[in-house]
Structure 1
Amino acid sequence: MNKFCLVLATALLLISCSKEADFKIVGTTPDIKNGTNVFLQKIDENNRLANVDTTVVKEGKFSFDPDQVTSPEMLILSFENLQGNIILIAENLEITVDAYKDSLYTSKIKGGAENDFFKVYYDDVVSSNKEKQKLQQEGSMAMQSGDTSKVAVIRNEFEAINNADKRRRLKLVEEHPGEFVSVIILSDLVGTRIIEATEAERLFNSLDKGLQEADKGVKLSEMIAQLKAAETAAAQAEVGNKAPDFTAPTPEGSQLSLTEAMGKKYTIIDFWASWCKPCREENPNVVAVYNKYHEKGLNIISVSLDRAEAKEKWLTAIENDQMDWYHVSNLMEWQDPVARKYGVSAIPATYLIDENGIIIEKNLRGEALQTKMQELLGES
């Protein structure tokens, strides 16, 4: 009898543990219409959202009962005809979601240490982004009014926010080496180039082995390797060095090299894209400089970071912005081999080279570019 009771107790304990380990998502929503489709998605290897499951809102509720996960992973909840989404971390337990129609990003998620940790990080990102958006608006107004001193102050404030963000997030990773969210944080730091490759490697090596070997950990390792290669390339494309030569397709489909496009005295290598607002805002200034100094020996070759499916937008932008100089692009966005050769991590990015191909200045914009060209080639 005692033996039977012991077996029964053990069985009940196992059943109880099994239930506790069951991965479920249970959602409530006070203001999303019944019948609305809810999509459970994940990010695939191409960084695109892939559907995992679909359900509908019934009587203000929805739920998913996915397969158990072998390790935590990021999942996204999206709602039919609603903007935004809800991010959660898959853990083998019940996760509850209170979804709010008009502000999905403020939805409440409960369940598991990983989701608690992710909320700390997510709230930090949202708060910081609000500060940055405000500064960007102020900076845009200052640029339009020609207040260069205000622009300089705002740039310093922006940099201070980025530095503070970096310190806080590095600390989060250092204090949570065994949690999956640390991989997400470190991936964001590497992807936005806020952190250098050596520091990223140090933090990656401090993570638990299981995290390093998980799919997202392997991808993070690859990102760090790419960052290291970009830093090496950027170091080669510094002022005083010879500009790396390249050959790339023109809009007409022929091949054009930097050597062939160089001006008699000076050349601007201009990295941009049709979708890049700061690039398009700077283009009138570059056009004015080109028109003023082209006859005195200045050439420009623009390297676009547009995508293949956006080729027409690239060509239209060239025409609309009156960029009457050399253009090339592999139409591979950030994977463009020319951009990678120069270690370009943000656009617009410019390199001013002399007749020997030596880089003499970098990232001159606005009045600074005009002043430099006047210094080199004088008034027209």
Structure 2
Amino acid sequence: MKHYKQAIAALLLPAALTTVVQAQQNTTITATIKDLPAGQWVYWSSQGGDDRRDSVQTTAGGFTIKTNIAPGEADFYIIKIGKPYGEHNVILYYLDKGNITIKGNGPQFKDAVFGGPQFVKDNNDYAATLKKAPGLQGRAELYEKMNKLYAEKDSAGLAALQPEMERMRKESDSLTKQWILQHPASGIGAPLLSYLSDMTLEEKESIFNKLSASAKENGPAKRLAYSIRVNKLTGIGSMAPDFTQNDTLGKPVSLKDFRGKYVLVDFWASWCVPCRGENPNVVAAFNKYNSKNFTVLGVSLDQPTGKEKWLNAIHQDNLTWTHVSDLKFWNNAVAKQYDIRSIPSNLLIDPSGKIIAKDLHGDELEKKLAEVL
């Protein structure tokens, strides 16, 4: 399912990378979409970490968005027509200064064509590169089919398409890497690089260092630079940075309190379905090895209003180890300190405080513990 979600993100990118504002200059997005009725709400929000949400109503056949973004804060935005998520009503959009147009015959954003400044032209060139690639023919149809199977909860059908989807994803990643290296001054280079799924941060750093200074003046580039810095501090073989956060009773707990034991720092949340699905594996490992100098420290990314759900999930899933959280969702201080961008995620620390493994899921966790204990 992880790669399926990445595939959907990859599908959105070529059609969506299209705007951002440096400086406090006005950005206007003018959409002309055939048969789009008046009176619908269009919502847009930044993916860069701020909580701003804006909206505007459609007129007959289109809508206009006007916004301002601070210097160096160019970023991905989600633009969505209506509140429910539908097949063609949402798009991931990279905003930069200038006047951007969206034209299409509908429904909604289906087959929309973008026009505007250089970053839009770069995006169109990148999209054309993927579209004409022999190895990616039929990709849109494949993703549409996977969307349908996902909606129908057809796991067998999705599994059957997985090998071809994986092949196309790898082909797309390869072409994306080539495009970035051929356009080192493009503002969409770092955003594209951030979406390459199977590339290590070390590999991304090598490409990132080849981009021009101006190409790094946007949100995705800054986040990637931060991830690279944190990775050097929290990579396998590094000493795990200490942290302190309150447990379920409000008592401060520090990572250093576990020195002398093998400890799995497990990032999860009660609302995270994959996390809840992984919990039985963590429980099995804890029950098997907790008498052999091993324990777990759960760090929850539950929301400010989610304490009861957090506590209920601990009880329901039989998570009988120490748990901490500041209940700040994705702004959890420990998650940000360790640059955790998806969950479930974990890291295994040895008795000296050194990180010896990361993201051990399923049988991988048990195998690693059997190796070291």
TM-score normalized with structure 1 length = 0.64
Match of 1:130 among 122, 137, 143: 143
Structure 2 distance, partners of 1:253, 1:242, is: 27
Q: Is the 8 A contact 1:68 1:92 kept in 2?
A: no
Aligned residue number for residue 295 of structure 2: 299
Cα distance change, pair 357–88 in 1 and its aligned pair in 2 (3 A): closer
CA pair 79-243 structure 1, distance change in 2 beyond 3 A: closer
Task: Choose from 196, 200, 208 the match for 1:200.
Answer: 208
1:299: Cα distance to partner?
Answer: 2.0
Is the CA contact (8 Å cut-off) linking 1:100 and 1:107 kept in structure 2?
yes
Matches within 5 A, 1:358-373: 358-373=354-369
Shift of 1:204: 3.9
Task: Show the counterpart of 1:320.
Answer: 316
What corresponds to 1:19 in structure 2?
A: none
SS in 2 for 1:291: helix
Measured after TM superposition, the shift of residue 375 of structure 1 is: 5.9
1:248 to 239, 245, 248: 245
C-alpha displacement of 1:85: 2.6
Find the aligned partners of 2:230 and 2:200 in 1 and give their Cα distance. 10
The answer to whether the Cα contact below 8 Å between 2:275 and 2:344 also exists between their aligned partners in 1 is yes
Residue 353 of structure 1 deviates from its aligned partner by 3.9
How many pairs are equivalent? 323
Q: Is the Cα–Cα contact under 8 Å of residues 104 and 110 in structure 2 kept in the other structure? A: no
Q: 1:111 aligns with which of 110, 115, 140?
A: 115
In structure 2, the partner of 1:257 is 254
- 2:175 equivalent in structure 1: 168
Mapped partners of 2:76, 2:257: distance in 1: 48
Cα displacement (A) at 1:283: 0.6
- After superposition, residues 94-109 of structure 1 pair within 5 angstroms as 95-101=101-107, 104-109=108-113
Evaluate the alpha carbon distance shift between residue 40 and residue 372 of structure 1 in structure 2; reply closer, same or farther with a 3 A threshold: closer
Contact 2:190 2:208 in 1 (8 A): no
- 1:43 is aligned to 2:46: yes
Q: Paired residue for 2:33, among 20, 28, 33?
A: 28
Higher helix share: 1
How many Å apart are 1:270 and its aligned residue?
1.9
- The change in CA–CA distance for 1:127 and 1:171 in structure 2 (over 3 A counts) is farther
Deviation at 1:200, TM superposition (A): 1.4
- CA distance change for structure 1 residues 81 and 373 in 2, over 3 Å: closer, same or farther? closer
Structure 2 vs 1, CA of residues 164 and 321 (structure 1 numbering), >3 Å: closer, same or farther? Answer: same
Superposition RMSD in Å? 4.7
2:306 is paired with a residue whose SS is helix
Change (3 A) 1:75 1:253: closer
Equivalences for 1:206-285 in 2 at 5 Å?
209=214, 217-235=217-235, 238-239=236-237, 242-261=239-258, 266-285=262-281
Compute the displacement of 1:323 (Å).
Answer: 0.5
Secondary structure of residue in 1 paired with 2:208: helix
- Give structure 1 stretches of 5+ with no counterpart: 1-21, 143-149
Distance between the aligned counterparts of 1:258 and 1:174, measured in 2?
A: 41
What letter is aligned with 2:30? I
Secondary structure of the equivalent of 1:252?
Answer: coil
What amino acid is aligned across from residue 34 of structure 2 in structure 1?
T
Q: How far does residue 45 in structure 1 lie from its aligned partner after superposition?
A: 6.1
Q: Say yes or no: does 1:288 pair with 2:284.
A: yes
State the secondary structure of the residue aligned to 1:54: strand
Q: Cα offset for 1:108?
A: 2.0
Quote the Cα distance in structure 1 between the aligned partners of 2:316 and 2:262. Answer: 25
CA gap of 1:311–1:202, structure 2 versus 1, over 3 A, is farther
* In 2, Cα distance between equivalents of 1:353 and 1:75: 37
* Runs of 5+ unmatched residues, structure 2: 1-26, 132-138
- Which residue number in structure 1 is paired with residue 22 of structure 2? none
